[in-house]
Structure 1
């Protein structure tokens, strides 16, 4: 009997779409609910209902027969996985708010919360054990993140914003909101909110220079409260001498007020940190933001022009507030923000009137004024691997002005920025430009000026048999003029704006980068881990010449793989091979690298506290 079942499994592997075979959604699911059943990327291409039903019966039969014995059941769980629902189907983006328009204006009635464990009850013994040890996110934790309540008018945009907010929490892997017309009152609708938890207990570690070693243990959902705690300990791996502890604690929504509280403190060998903050961000078109942070940090700071790191200690107090108002005629929000920053450097290298300005003692008062609009769309297989992702389309136009009282001189600050992005037939395009400068009030001269231009595009999904491919292209141009000397007065290639495999020391005030990456999302999911293979080609120019094309040229190429389990809080594991070249040939390269990347925040167009243009 075992051999017969094994033969059936092998036969299914040979059928088109066999490895990631799917079940159709359960007919008993609530109207409007997206039930995360088994899914295959090919399922949307099966147009014949009879063939689809026949496949479903076959897969159901295999599951039933293999569930009776241990070994066949283990083989079944290895081959057939239960990923989250693919919302792209044919590679297009989805406007969930437009699907909810028929309910707009109705009154919200009952709101029910249905919470699901990290893994399905019928999973492997390891998944069942994980569910038994995981404390489910509490009902009130989900409710406190709702941007609406019973009795409110149903707003499709607010429903989608709520889904985006809850999905951004580390302890939630998926959320859906089903709308059910009230059977008695036609003017009311009831909501059923279904969430699935993430596995939130994680271990981390790093091996750094000078023998420094760090190990950490964290939980992003303590006792189901949504609060996160991380404990880090440091030691010297050469003699196991103690290097200090650090603790990080975060409350993402204090008592349902949408304020985020954070506390970080401790020491790491010669570094020390005290960081306390309380903030609230813009969440609705008409809303307010407010924040207050204090930090006292001692750490080594990289001095780019000397190519060395020196110990610096800084005390910083930051306070800001803002208000936005939705203007219906232009379908945008106008906003006004203000910020005060106090910065004192108590331990630093040499400074002067035009030397190491980033280490000068300074007080700054900034004001921001602008317009913005933001609407969310859903898709997947962009920065995630299969989970639902929320991407914003919209724009933000802002003017920032203010005054700074410096240790050696005062200055007026003026900055302008504009960014916009959205969807088109060939994918998603966004672009932005920022210009900022200090102005000497005595002679009107512009000093420490900077301009930054960013363009990004990614394609729709392309089908290659059962795999899916997406192309990414990004462009960055940064230039500074009338810069001084010392810390932060020159730029280099960074992780954000740089070449992946390049490890060569190069600096300047003028930088241009073109990055291209092709990502293939594999349908194979061993033990629930999704695989994404990628290849990249990067090109960059960097130097001090105002003519960008007269500066040093670098390029890098490589391939790699990323692994991610959407149900786990663990970061994406990336393994990369690469090589880099300059004008004269091979340069210092980062040939091989294993890293883990955190969950990425998607492009946003909402305003934040007024900022001075970065020159990094």
Structure 2
């Protein structure tokens, strides 16, 4: 991988100076946000996701001639030919679509209520059939997802009435599968019956075989191999072997197996088992989530784990052996008058410890055994919109708009005392004239019934926003912002009774650990999607600035202040086998100056979890 990256970087560096002045694609119009009521006609028989092509045909032709020249020259000798086939794959259509936000359900509105007739499935391989040697070899090694696997993920059947929002929801579900790269559902009026429509579902597979590795503390090393589409069934299998880097002693194996849709019931079944030196685990669960506005959820899970846990307050680690049993369920019903669903959920959790550090009634409450019964009730609405150039470079992305309002209550039978629990959650988000805005809060507390004292209370507030796309000459800019505020009061002492900066709520370039019961984080990032495509690369530049306050004072502004800032570049070429390459430079500062920082990081850019508003099993408010 390192050699391939070095060769790729040299090719890019050599071509950038000659290509930047010529590869810009002029825009036909300003890419303001538009809610589209119609869809562009597609070419029949071709896999064409909703997208716009590069508007400059001369730039496309120059790129084609450049690649044809490189290929013809490398074909003359064996080693250059192998390098070309190793590094380059065939291009796919540009899918940037100028950052438009599309309500696909409106496009299907003319067909609402018609009877669904024939449902045809057209499955496509990872690469085009007429690709280079590497692509053809990849297609031969890849087992195409079986048709029945696609059909079992459909939320509709022949004879059903067409529901536009259900079609869009189904596209989002299919796109969420790790073995599916893209999906299109075309609605075709029946030529013989005006009350019927036929559906053609076109899917393109993802490359699902991958290797993994990790370097842990104390010399522990993990290497793994996984396939997210075993025999084309849609099931995933991951095998991991652990050994010591110091003496290569054997540390045990781990296996993970998942069935995302068991026998077409929409139940997900997962199993994890194995040993990693002194850590061991056995976990098994089966669950079904809310998929439609009127639906049900049901789940059961059991785990028996032994792992070394980091204890924040004492800055030490200790082995903890924990046994958990979870059972939950819920039902939702759609109310047309409110255009929302009302729902109720319930959960029972059993937790016991057979190995742990010292515990007392007021010490290490997270390590106390308990039985807890929780009930939740509320309203929610969720609708998907299609857009791009948010977290990717142009791939189709589905973002939910809607809200969720929930009240939670329950009772805990604890090892040392019994408590009542009360909590509430509210989240709302959607596309506005200023971009996408999402906000919410979760508040919860235990209540000691004999004395009425509120114990282990916590509040968590989140605000996330990203702007519309703005033009800077021929580049596009999007601004991202997230704000998190977490506070705990009447907390006890010991494990999980204080918080620190985390990967999700923290400063990107900060490496040191700081603790408190009060934390405020502001993360900002500016991403510039450049129009330049030297050697077919899409280039995005980004800069970030993070600000954080953390400490034990109830007044957040009296706590310690830290900041980190930096910049980086993300590279993506649809011709290459690699994922997006991210190079980041940064540093962190405190009130007294420079603190321990992660100055440089080279990684594959991770895709963030999309915001969702559907209900889940009732939870205790997180304090982490």
Deviation string 1:78-120 (CA, Å, 9 cap, x unpaired) is 899624552x533231111111101101111101111111112
Deviation string 1:166-214 (CA, Å, 9 cap, x unpaired) is 0000011100111111110011111111111110000011112211111
SS across alignment from 2:150: helix
Q: Alpha carbons of 1:167 and 1:594: their partners in 2 closer, same or farther (altered >3 Å)?
A: same
- The reply to whether residue 485 of structure 1 matches residue 493 of structure 2 is yes
Structure 2 match to 1:344: 352
Q: Alpha carbons of 1:62 and 1:77: their partners in 2 closer, same or farther (altered >3 Å)?
A: farther
Distance 2:284 2:565 in 1: 42
Distance 2:105 2:41 in 1: 24
- The reply to whether residue 82 of structure 1 matches residue 82 of structure 2 is no
Distance 1:515 1:10 in 2: 33
Q: Alpha carbons of 1:287 and 1:570: their partners in 2 closer, same or farther (altered >3 Å)?
A: farther
SS across alignment from 1:514: strand
Tell me the CA shift for residue 384 of structure 1: 2.3
> Where does 1:17-32 land on structure 2 (aligned, <5 Å)?
17=24, 29-30=43-44
Q: Which of 409, 429, 448 lines up with 2:417 in the alignment?
A: 409
Tell me the CA shift for residue 309 of structure 1: 1.6
Deviation string 1:323-360 (CA, Å, 9 cap, x unpaired) is 00000000000000000000001110000001000000
Structure 1 match to 2:33: none
Distance 2:453 2:430 in 1: 38
CA contact (8 A) 1:367 1:610 kept: yes
Tell me the CA shift for residue 125 of structure 1: 2.0
> Where does 1:371-450 land on structure 2 (aligned, <5 Å)?
371-450=379-458
TM-score for both structures, normalised by structure 2: 0.88
Tell me the CA shift for residue 129 of structure 1: 1.4
CA contact (8 A) 1:66 1:72 kept: no
- The reply to whether residue 331 of structure 1 matches residue 339 of structure 2 is yes
Tell me the CA shift for residue 562 of structure 1: 3.6
Q: Which of 136, 142, 151 lines up with 2:144 in the alignment?
A: 136
Distance 2:49 2:493 in 1: 56
> Where does 1:555-594 land on structure 2 (aligned, <5 Å)?
555-563=563-571, 573-594=581-602
Q: Which of 181, 188, 201 lines up with 1:193 in the alignment?
A: 201
Q: Alpha carbons of 1:532 and 1:265: their partners in 2 closer, same or farther (altered >3 Å)?
A: farther
Q: Alpha carbons of 1:197 and 1:392: their partners in 2 closer, same or farther (altered >3 Å)?
A: same
Tell me the CA shift for residue 459 of structure 1: 1.0
SS across alignment from 1:330: coil
- The reply to whether residue 452 of structure 1 matches residue 460 of structure 2 is yes
Tell me the CA shift for residue 566 of structure 1: 7.2
CA contact (8 A) 1:39 1:82 kept: no
- The reply to whether residue 217 of structure 1 matches residue 225 of structure 2 is yes
- The reply to whether residue 145 of structure 1 matches residue 153 of structure 2 is yes
Q: Alpha carbons of 1:68 and 1:292: their partners in 2 closer, same or farther (altered >3 Å)?
A: closer
Q: Alpha carbons of 1:487 and 1:37: their partners in 2 closer, same or farther (altered >3 Å)?
A: closer
CA contact (8 A) 2:52 2:97 kept: no
Tell me the CA shift for residue 473 of structure 1: 0.4
Distance 1:229 1:285 in 2: 32
Once the two structures are overlaid, the 10-residue window that deviates more, 71-80 or 387-396, is 71-80
CA contact (8 A) 1:79 1:526 kept: no
Distance 2:73 2:379 in 1: 61
> Where does 1:164-563 land on structure 2 (aligned, <5 Å)?
164-523=172-531, 530-563=538-571
Q: Alpha carbons of 1:151 and 1:71: their partners in 2 closer, same or farther (altered >3 Å)?
A: same
Tell me the CA shift for residue 128 of structure 1: 1.9
TM-score for both structures, normalised by structure 1: 0.90
Tell me the CA shift for residue 568 of structure 1: 9.5
SS across alignment from 1:394: strand
CA contact (8 A) 2:181 2:206 kept: yes
Distance 2:298 2:44 in 1: 40
Deviation string 1:443-481 (CA, Å, 9 cap, x unpaired) is 111110001100000011233455432210000111100
Q: What is the total number of aligned residue pairs between the two structures?
A: 593
CA contact (8 A) 1:118 1:567 kept: no
Tell me the CA shift for residue 601 of structure 1: 2.4
CA contact (8 A) 1:198 1:568 kept: no
Q: Alpha carbons of 1:402 and 1:354: their partners in 2 closer, same or farther (altered >3 Å)?
A: same
Structure 1 match to 2:616: 608
SS across alignment from 1:333: strand
Once the two structures are overlaid, the 10-residue window that deviates more, 594-603 or 294-303, is 594-603
Tell me the CA shift for residue 518 of structure 1: 1.2
- The reply to whether residue 101 of structure 1 matches residue 98 of structure 2 is no
Tell me the CA shift for residue 77 of structure 1: 12
Once the two structures are overlaid, the 10-residue window that deviates more, 182-191 or 70-79, is 70-79
Q: Alpha carbons of 1:406 and 1:217: their partners in 2 closer, same or farther (altered >3 Å)?
A: same
Once the two structures are overlaid, the 10-residue window that deviates more, 586-595 or 210-219, is 586-595
Q: Alpha carbons of 1:566 and 1:443: their partners in 2 closer, same or farther (altered >3 Å)?
A: farther
CA contact (8 A) 1:418 1:432 kept: yes
Deviation string 1:123-170 (CA, Å, 9 cap, x unpaired) is 332122111211111111111111001110000000000000000000
Distance 1:68 1:506 in 2: 54
Deviation string 1:416-458 (CA, Å, 9 cap, x unpaired) is 1100000011210000011100001111111100011000000
Tell me the CA shift for residue 521 of structure 1: 3.1
Q: Alpha carbons of 1:528 and 1:447: their partners in 2 closer, same or farther (altered >3 Å)?
A: farther
Structure 1 residue ranges without an equivalent (≥5): 1-8, 47-51
CA contact (8 A) 2:304 2:322 kept: yes
Structure 2 match to 1:6: none
Once the two structures are overlaid, the 10-residue window that deviates more, 271-280 or 122-131, is 122-131
Tell me the CA shift for residue 380 of structure 1: 1.2
Distance 2:449 2:51 in 1: 66
Tell me the CA shift for residue 19 of structure 1: 12
Distance 2:348 2:576 in 1: 39
Q: Alpha carbons of 1:570 and 1:485: their partners in 2 closer, same or farther (altered >3 Å)?
A: farther
Tell me the CA shift for residue 517 of structure 1: 0.7
Structure 1 match to 2:9: none
Distance 2:246 2:535 in 1: 36
Distance 1:161 1:253 in 2: 16
